Amino acid sequence: MLLLELVITAKVKLYPDFVQTAQLIETLKAVKAGLNHASRVAYDNGFITSFKKLQKMTYSDLRQQYGLKSQMACNVCSVVAGSYASMKSNGEKTLAVYKTPKFQYSYGRDYSFTKNGMLSIGTLDKRIKLPFEIKGMKQYFDGSWNFGTATLIYKKDKFFLHIAVKKETPILEDNSVRNIVGIDFGMNFLAVSYDSAGKTNFFEGRHIKDKRAKFTKTRKSLQQTKTASSRRRLKKLGNRENRWMTDINHKVSKALVSGSIEGTLFVIEDLTGIRSQTEKVQRKDRYYSVSWAFYQLRQMLEYKALRSGSKVVVVDPKYTSQTCPKCGHTEKANRNKNTHTFTCKTCAYTSNDDRIGAMNLQRKGIEYIAEVMLSV
């Protein structure tokens, strides 16, 4: 049996009291100051990318001047050296400025969970214990997941701990597939699925395009204003739109996986060419088609499928929108993009064009399994 380490970020909300809030804020401020100090040293001394070299030059200052504990100082050096190594590999040579602290806690040494249901976490002053909430994350605290590094987040006067949780999960073997689901991603419907039982599901549609149109209209208006206030609003708008897209992708991927049995093979199209495939759409739909986070949707589907004992395969989508799933006749004229319908010129089979795409992807899944079985 093949095993794969599945890594998920569990987001935990913290509830510190007044004194604990001050301690956490003081810690984050010190870490931020330490990061920018180490960054300046790295930049001024030939763009240092070596952790050991940077640690040797900054450790004493980080401990004495910024009050960081030993592990915090080492963590700062690691983050800064990593940042400069990444920039160097990308051909960049600019000063790294940390507007928000990036501090990672190691499980056991820097944070842990007590028997009475509290979080124990380190600060500049001392280790503190505080209550927390795991709403929507309870499955990661059932004892089957291993806790890894965690990042402390302070946003809008609220504290969160983002924890990397890990678990070795068996990979679905091809000879154990019990159900095949073809999934077509697109504009008219964000996703359309077709399974081995002949069941079709349509996910999200017209209202998404309408809401994105509102985002686009507001964005254009703010871009034309060109003031400091409009730029701030533009940034907030972009963040709000991204959060909305992420939420939609979570819901769609969850519905796809939860609506299928364990042992399902999800067949999706290769999304690398989705931009070039959609450049020819009507201008009013172009922004939606090329900017939706389809790759994020694929990633969410992959890890949720793996977690549920299923898996995802990616296939070439060539001719999936032009081929009749009943008689196999392939012709461009089979599909009417204006009416979103498919009518086979040979056998007259008619259906929604996105459903046809999902049916053909499901057929490619059957062919994939057949090829694997023949090669054994």
Residue 189 DSSP code:
S
76 and 199 share a domain?
no
Q: Is there a single domain that holds both residue 201 and residue 349? A: yes
Task: Tell whether the model's pLDDT for residue 234 goes beyond 70.
Answer: yes
Write down the pTM of the prediction. Answer: 0.74
Element (H, E) at 84: helix 70-89
State the DSSP H helix or E strand holding residue 19, giving kind and residue range, or none if neither.
helix 18-44
Domain identity same for 98 and 36: yes
Residue 164's CB: how many other CB atoms inside 10 A?
17
Q: Which domain holds residue 195?
A: 174-375
Q: Which residues pair with 185 in a beta bridge?
A: 191
Residue 160 is predicted with a pLDDT of 94
Residues 294 and 248 in one domain: yes
The letter for the amino acid at 182 is G
Are 214 and 360 found together in one domain? yes
**How confident is the model at residue 230, as a pLDDT?**
84
Q: 190 with 73, same domain? A: no
143 shares its domain with 220: no
Do 93 and 234 lie in one domain? The reply is: no
Q: Given 121, 152, 170, which residue is the final one in a domain?
A: 170
Residue 218's Cβ-count burial label (10 Å; 0-12, 13-18, 19+) is: middle
Rg (CA), the chain: 25
pLDDT one-digit tens code per residue, 120-173: 999 998 999 999 999 888 889 988 999 999 999 998 899 999 999 999 888 899
Average pLDDT over every residue of 93-113:
89
Do 207 and 70 fall within a single domain? no
Of the pLDDT bands very low, low, confident and very high (cuts 50, 70, 90), residue 194 is very high
CATH code for the domain in which residue 242 is found: 3.30.420
Judge if 290 and 150 occupy the same domain. Answer: no
Domain boundary among 135, 170, 205: 170
| Cβ neighbour number for residue 85 with a 10 Å cutoff | 15
pLDDT at 147: 96
Model pLDDT, residue 280:
45
Q: How many domains does the chain have?
A: 2
232 in the same domain as 164: no
* Residue where a domain stops, chosen among 137, 170, 203: 170
Q: Is the pLDDT of residue 276 over 50?
A: no
- Based on the fold, state whether residues 268 and 136 are members of the same structural domain: no
Question: Quick one: average pLDDT of 268-277?
Answer: 66
Q: Report which secondary-structure segment, H or E, holds 14.
A: strand 3-14
